[in-house]
Structure 1
Amino acid sequence: MSGRVQLIQELKSLRKGRGLLAGRIEERVGPTLRSACAVADGDGLTVIRHKVTARLVELAEQLPDDLRLAALAAFAICADADQPLYKDRLRWTATRVDREPRTVRRRVDEAITMLADLAAASEKRAERTARWHTTELNVALVLSGPRPEVFEHHRVTAGQDDLCELDLSISVPPDEATLFHGGTLTTTHHGGVRLALPKPLSHGESHEFAMLFHPRRLSGRLAYVPSRMCERFDLRIRFGEAPEEISKLDGVFQEDLAGRRHRGELCRLNPADEVHLRFGTLTPGLAYGARWDR
């Protein structure tokens, strides 16, 4: 059983009864949840409750408003949702969002799945950031020509000494990418792409590289899904033909991209038919960028 599936099961078990207000909380917090919340073997009841509560609140802050309320009430984290039974907390939430309890129950299940995904992404970020992370990414997309062009300028920082290569998350085939400067592209046995650096980096040392992509199609959106920590992301898009609507993707779950369930902040073009978007402190595994409709 994967850690994600195990964490979902442990969270569903934790929401029962009094949730985080249960008397013997150490028996309600499973091993996967303990690891996700940095619970140590010697921690007492108060410390365990505090650590799990703080971690769930931190993760829930990244959920949509309705799912955040459903999740916090389910675990009895909300001050007004301290009813001793889970079904009573569902009713309390239902009155706040004007929905049936069974609808709220489904939202709690959806929120728990997203919490597990966020926790997994955070753990991967911590592992990967140990080697290197992106300090700044600047992307320029040009749609006014015969074929889309995407220019990327990366600035990364090493998290260890003797860093010689970077594992890159490239969503287009390597033959559609051109490296302008900053190293040499290589392909791994598993089909991944790596950047061999001109010289090893020391801990804390920065490096820059730039690439040009010619994707065959973009399907009405450009989404950057960081696989590790990214401090800043700057996106500029130049349209050849003004779209009917442009919306900002700011920390969107990947499953929401295809179904158009997400409608972000609407963006306006400047007189040159361009849009400029900025993002800070990106969450690995979530999508950032823009979506447009013709």
Structure 2
Amino acid sequence: MVLTNIDPRAWKGRGTVSLSAADVVGELKALRKGRAIFTTPLADRVGPALRSTCGILEDDGTVEIRRKLSDRLRPLVESLPDDLKIALLAAFALDERARKPFYQERVHWAAITLDRDDRTVRRRIDEGIEQVAALAVAAPRHYPARGWHTEELRVTLALDQPVPEAFEFRRVIADADEIAVLDLAPTLPVAAESGDSLHESDRGVDVFHGGLLIRRVPESNDRTGLVLRLPEPLRRGARHEVGLRLRANLREPRYLCVPRHPCDLFDLHVRFGERVPKRIVRQEKVSPAAADDRSRTGSALAADRAGEVHVRFRNLAPGFAYGIRWAS
């Protein structure tokens, strides 16, 4: 059994919740009934176990509860074998094609999709729920003493421009009260002259929304951290979105995110255009020092017809590098 601390607002009067896989299984089986996550009102369907593992607060409304359930359950479901994944996406109405008003209708949709009978799909759903519950308990979403973490980081990098340009959209969650600034790890390294250090003029940064850039902090000879002051301090559990544009010539043929705080999702699109490198590899959870090793192997990636590659990483660990490297 795992003891999971939750925000005291998450389940008023309950204090610390003793969370077990059996607790999560029971609540997931109740959640799948009727319209599942599209039940209204939804709060009555969500007990202390799901509130804990999904970070649902007492004052969250139906829309916010639905979003938190979807954000937490979907990656767990998508990590399962295909048959269980399809069955559970249908059971909880996470797949748009299976958003039927009754559980039995969603079961039947999954049965047709999997070419199985309804009884087999019900067994798959029960099996999948057991596995999702075990995963949820094994990796509770709790980030102690860090202040905030990134729920989602989406980056689009265009290398077919005169100067490489990246658009970065980040959604963060406050893990404490009165979060007034964000210290953002750089995602776009800069090329200075050989042997020279980085100068302010070597990087272009524009804040599209979400705060005011108040200073830059040199971290190495090719990276500068950014400190962003928020419009208003965040309370614990609050979400905030930031949009940035960064422009810089790259020192190395790579694009890596080395998060300073935990990051749930990093989604990266890189556009090479007509000049697609001969070799593109995925880099996942490598040390920054190892990322500098050009001989290091990784999963090979292929660009599409538009000269683009798309990679996605989940549950990024602070201090490790995630992204891609290429060679002409």
Instruction: Please say if 1:258 is aligned against 2:292.
Output: yes
CA contact (8 A) 1:252 1:262 kept: no
SS of the counterpart of 1:255? helix
Pick aligned residue for 1:287 from 278, 297, 321: 321
| Corresponding position: 1:206 with 2:206 | no
Deviation at 1:126, TM superposition (A): 5.8
Counterpart position of 1:153 = 169
Tell me the CA shift for residue 189 of structure 1: 8.1
Taking the aligned partners of 1:205 and 1:216, their CA distance within structure 2 comes to: 35
Corresponding residue SS for 1:260 = coil
Partners of 1:158 and 1:132 lie apart in 2 by 4
Q: Name the residue aligned to 1:17.
A: none
Q: Is the 8 A contact 1:133 1:159 kept in 2?
A: yes
Residues 217, 227 of structure 2: 8 Å contact kept: no
Aligned to 2:205: 177
- CA drift of 1:156 comes to 0.2
Computed over aligned residues only, the root mean square deviation of the Cα atoms, in angstroms, reads: 2.2
Pairwise CA distance, 1:219? 1.6
TM-score by length of 2: 0.48
Read off the aligned partner of 1:153 and give its amino acid letter: F
Residue 271 of structure 1 aligns to a residue whose secondary structure is coil
How many percent identity over aligned positions?
A: 38
Aligned counterparts, 1:1-294, within 5 A: 129=146, 131-170=147-186, 175-187=203-215, 193-240=226-273, 241-294=275-328
Post-superposition CA distance 1:71-100 (Å, at most 9, x none) = xxxxxxxxxxxxxxxxxxxxxxxxxxxxxx
Instruction: Note closer, same or farther for the CA distance 1:152–1:182 as it changes in structure 2 (3 Å cut).
Output: same
Task: Indicate if the aligned counterparts of 2:143 and 2:175 stay in contact, CA closer than 8 A.
Answer: no
2:288 and 2:145 map into 1 onto residues whose CA distance is: 20
The 2-side partners of 1:266 and 1:164 are apart by 41
How far apart are the structure 2 equivalents of 1:184 and 1:149? 20
Which consecutive unaligned segments of at least 5 residues does structure 2 have? 1-141, 191-198, 219-223
Residues 270-279 or 260-269, more deviating:
260-269
- Alpha carbons 2:144, 2:175 under 8 Å: kept: no
2:304 and 2:214 mapped to 1: Cα distance? 39
Contact 1:128 1:228 in 2 (8 A): no
How many residues end up aligned between the 2 structures? 169
**Which residue identity lines up with residue 314 of structure 2 in the other structure?**
G
Contact 2:217 2:226 (C-alpha < 8 Å) held by counterparts = no
Q: CA deviation at 1:256?
A: 1.2
Structure 1 residues 249 and 160: CA distance shift in structure 2, 3 A: same
- Local SS of the residue matching 2:300: coil
- 4+ runs of 1 displaced by more than 6 Å? 188-191
Distance 1:192 1:151 in 2: 16
Change (3 A) 1:239 1:207: same
Structure 1 residues 168 and 189: CA distance shift in structure 2, 3 A: closer
Question: What does residue 20 of structure 1 align with?
Answer: none
Instruction: Give the unaligned 5+ runs of structure 1.
Output: 1-124
Q: State the Cα distance separating 1:153 from its structure 2 match.
A: 0.3
Change (3 A) 1:163 1:257: same
